Structure 1
Amino acid sequence: MKKLSFKLPALITINLLIISGFTISNKNIKIDIHPHFGAWDLVSYSTDGTDAFKDAKVVKIFSNGHFAITAYRQDSKEFVGTMGGTYLVEGETVKETIEFSTWNAEEVGNTYSFSMKMKGKTMTLNSNDSKAVFTWKRIDKGVNQGATLAGAWRIRERERNGEMSAMKRGPRKTIKILSATRFQWTAFNNETKQFMGTGGGTYSAKDGIYTETIEFFSRDSSRVGMSLSFDFERKGNDWHHKGKSSKGKPIYEIWGLED
């Protein structure tokens, strides 16, 4: 394990907590319900590093095995930064492996360790390599609430010229993580450490209609505040997503459940 730097973005990765375990097969994904699944809002923090989150809203989401954390300023529609990846739990220790980071791409591939304490709707995370401490307040409980689409999804098919085209699995990924009420998609290549873009906010999924309200978008801040509705259907571990993009272009995608 590489030593954790004192930079705030690296330390903040703590956000994604824990599960005791999960299994993935071609047909079934078993989720061990854990109290830390869901979305969290950063309420306080202390660190020896630079304050990269002043006046920013910081939200993290974690599924059965993936996490994402993003900082943004709502009033100015400014995207501040994001990072995320995979995580696991060993006893009371959370180990997070970075797959993308806009703050420091050189951290991709590194694993950082944190201890965790839960009390009511509050979660406190302490870096095991420094004096950094982060306190989070629960937004929702993710899969614990039985949300239809809560989890981590990876796009696997997309319609092109009227035909569905399979996306080859590899280091280039587009992952979308949903809690019960929040979402974030991110496109990245964890092999080249390249970040392509991210967007997120709140969503609802009811009666076959999936609606997103964008709160941050790294590529175009003018999209912030937009609400987009799509037809959706979940078929086993596949999510069929059809409608129009924020640019008004028709889309039909199939996302596969990662965890």
Structure 2
Amino acid sequence: MKKFLFLPFLFLVGLVSGQSLEGAWKLLSQNGKAVTDQEYIKIYQDDYFAFGVKNVADNAFIGAGGGPYKYEDGRYSETLDFFTLNPLQIGTTTPFKIDLSGNKLTLSADTNNGMLVEVWERISEAKDDLTGNWVITGRKRDDQISRSTPGARRTIKILSGGRFQWVAFNSETKEFSGTGGGTYTAKDGKYTENITFFSRDNNRVGASLGFDFQVIDGEWHHSGLSSTGSPIYEIWTPYAIGYKPTK
């Protein structure tokens, strides 16, 4: 009889662990206070996360962070590859208490600044041909393709739930080069970005950029004109394959 007493508990643990975080999320409250003056968008995909923060009133960029996360057996932790709000925390791993119920996510942790409790709401978990976490590994110039192997210095682009965010950073030196993000669509070989935040120039917020795309042998070939009108051709590889950590 005692054996069966554990079955409901094990079932619930399995149910919670089986829920996926993948998709795009918006921060609703922090330490019990509603978040209204700033917009936090967080994307989870392929065991990686990234978030960007801006002021709602003037679209001014506030900060960004991200890195690998682990969510298994009811346990959740984040490791920071980049974090503009406090670069000294890059490389650290923080365990969180997690409560995931439908499209509501509550994360709580004891941090250096005291207890942190965040409540997030999932915006979307939609997927398409480009859903994934990518790292740039190639460019074409004058019909010649040059390839590279990303190390500590790399540029990633994470897409999930109809949201995207790119980030350029160096996880060893803790240098941050820039980030931007927003909503996107990818259908029938056409990829369109609608910028909602941009660390280098918030005047770009509201702009839409259209590109062509193909997925060839598992890699994303991205081509068109940049925001300055220059032709671009980029090759993005799934992060888990393209990124080679330095030892």
TM-score bracket for the superposition, by shorter chain length: 0.7 to 0.9
Partner of 1:138: 122
Q: Separation in 2 of the partners of 1:197 and 1:136? A: 25
Q: How many residues align?
A: 222
Displaced runs of 4 or more, over 3 A: none
Find out whether 1:249 has 2:234 as its counterpart: no
Partner of 1:5: none
User: Greater CA deviation, 96-105 or 153-162?
Assistant: 153-162
1:245 maps to amino acid? S
Partner of 2:40: 58
Q: Separation in 1 of the partners of 2:96 and 2:110? A: 5
What are the ranges of 5 or more consecutive residues in structure 1 without an aligned counterpart? 1-18, 21-32
Q: How does 1:1-259 map to 2 (within 5 A)?
A: 34-46=19-31, 55-129=37-111, 130-141=114-125, 145-259=126-240
Q: Separation in 2 of the partners of 1:209 and 1:96? A: 33
Whether contact under 8 Å (2:181, 2:196) holds in the other structure is yes
Partner deviation per Cα, 1:186-242 (whole Å, 9 max, x = no partner): 000001100000000000001110000000110111211110000001124200100
Q: Offset at 1:183?
A: 0.1
Q: Separation in 2 of the partners of 1:164 and 1:214? A: 28
TM score, norm. by length of structure 1: 0.80
Secondary structure in 2 matching 1:77: coil
Q: Offset at 1:150?
A: 1.1
Query: Taking structure 1 as reference, are residues 128 and 93 closer, same or farther at Cα in structure 2, changes over 3 Å only?
Result: farther
Partner deviation per Cα, 1:33-56 (whole Å, 9 max, x = no partner): 852111000011118xxx9x7610
Q: Separation in 1 of the partners of 2:168 and 2:50? A: 12
Whether contact under 8 Å (1:157, 1:165) holds in the other structure is yes
Secondary structure in 1 matching 2:115: coil
Q: Separation in 1 of the partners of 2:36 and 2:61? A: 13
TM score, norm. by length of structure 2: 0.84
User: Greater CA deviation, 216-225 or 204-213?
Assistant: 216-225
1:134 maps to amino acid? E
Secondary structure in 1 matching 2:26: strand
Partner of 1:30: none
Whether contact under 8 Å (2:127, 2:162) holds in the other structure is no
1:39 maps to amino acid? A
Alpha-carbon RMSD: 2.0
Larger Rg: 2
1:85 maps to amino acid? G
1:188 maps to amino acid? F
Partner deviation per Cα, 1:96-142 (whole Å, 9 max, x = no partner): 1101111111111111110111122211111145432110111111x
Q: Offset at 1:73?
A: 2.0
Whether contact under 8 Å (1:74, 1:215) holds in the other structure is no
